[in-house]
Amino acid sequence: MKKVSILSLHLGYGGIEKSVAALANMLVEKYEVEIACSYKLFDESVFPVDKRVKIIYLTDVKPNKDKIKKAWKKKRMFKLFKECCYAMKVLHKRKSTMVDYIKNSDSDVMIATRDIFDEWLGDYGDEDVLKIGWEHNHYHGDFKYADNITRSNKNLDYLVLVSDSLREFYSKELIKSKCEVVYIPNVIEGIPEKIAPLDEKRLVSVGRLSPEKGFMDLLKIFTLLKKDYPDWRLDIVGDGVEKERLAKFIKEHDLEDSVTLHGFRDKDYIDELLHKSSIYLLTSYTESFGIVLIEAMSHGVPCIAFDSAEGARDLIQSGKNGYLIKNRSYSAFIKKVEDLIKRKEERKRVGKVSRQGVKQYTCEVVKEQWFNLIEKK
């Protein structure tokens, strides 16, 4: 039985961490699987991991980014200096322990989930090990970032991208290297047996509450929408640095009876909420792979998204299985929401089409793509 190691920063909150847990759970059906984490942020993985998967933590330190920001904000220079020194220690320990793991591991396959891990795996990984980079983020027009990904993966055997548009881009960038670029989408656990009835006056959005996810834009859109549709409500699921700011906006605009911030919730809770919802809204500025869109589609919930989210552009054929709104236009976004609010049959039509297209993202399909890749060497 082959041994597969997944190199992860941590197993806390985050889209990459959710994908790591899902991948480990798929691969353990056929291989011995180990997740090597730089940091232990919580006593257990935030996302469920199969008991057969071995999890090891390489350091006993934690990042102190928040403490640095706090010291800078309060102009506490000595505290800032102290925290910066500690941060250097953390980064040094992160590298030394991960490099040691890469050098001394008995794994047949190693999958790196961050660009810096890609680089270390390429530099220090054994020649007999199948070395795979797994990139989740979009370069968003930042060619310096794209160049860094190209450089970090040039000595690996494969670079796995979560969208086909990214595969096309990096195939050109890495054409002169040994690294072969492949597309394997992220996975959803399954398609619900029952389709959402789309009866309730509920809008929903799920994601990390951070600026790039555009939840403040969503609240502003809902504020305008609520004037004509006071009976409709908005559910937001997720946690993050924007939570207090969003809560303040909700209170200041008297939205407390119409908007609920649910915080971080498990899959069962989200599935239940999606089943009760009638329209899914995505207002992200950027999105590499819209896993939450796929999950909404699997329930037959029609989706509306700004086309600034690259992942949404890969998934949605506007007018067929959802709607893409150009130029981050509030008015166009609101107009499309209003259209679906008024036309239940259109909600059902789009939801049905979108649900039919998600089979390619199920565990049964995606795990075979990973198995085929791993068995190439």
> What pLDDT, on the 0 to 100 scale, is given for residue 165?
86
Paired with 63 in beta bridges are none
Nearest to 133 by CA among 150, 153, 105: 153
> What pLDDT, on the 0 to 100 scale, is given for residue 164?
87
Which strand ranges, in their side-by-side order, compose the sheet holding 130-135?
54-57, 32-37, 3-8, 109-112, 130-135, 158-161, 180-183
Output the six-digit token pair for 160: 């796995």
> What pLDDT, on the 0 to 100 scale, is given for residue 75?
82
Length of the chain, please? 377
**Torsion angle in degrees (nearest 10) through CA of 148, 150, 154, 160:** 120
Question: Element (H or E) spanning 100, and its range?
Answer: helix 77-104
Q: Which amino acid is at 185?
A: P
Which residues touch 117 (CB under 8 Å, ≥6 apart)? 7, 9, 98
pLDDT along the chain (377 residues), means of 10: 96 90 96 97 92 97 85 83 88 96 97 97 96 90 90 96 90 92 90 94 95 96 96 96 96 96 93 97 87 93 93 90 96 97 96 92 94 91
pTM for the full predicted model? 0.86
In the block, which residue shows the tokens 């795979």? 132
What the chain holds in terms of domains, given with CATH numbers, is 3-187+362-374 (3.40.50.2000), 202-359 (3.40.50.2000)
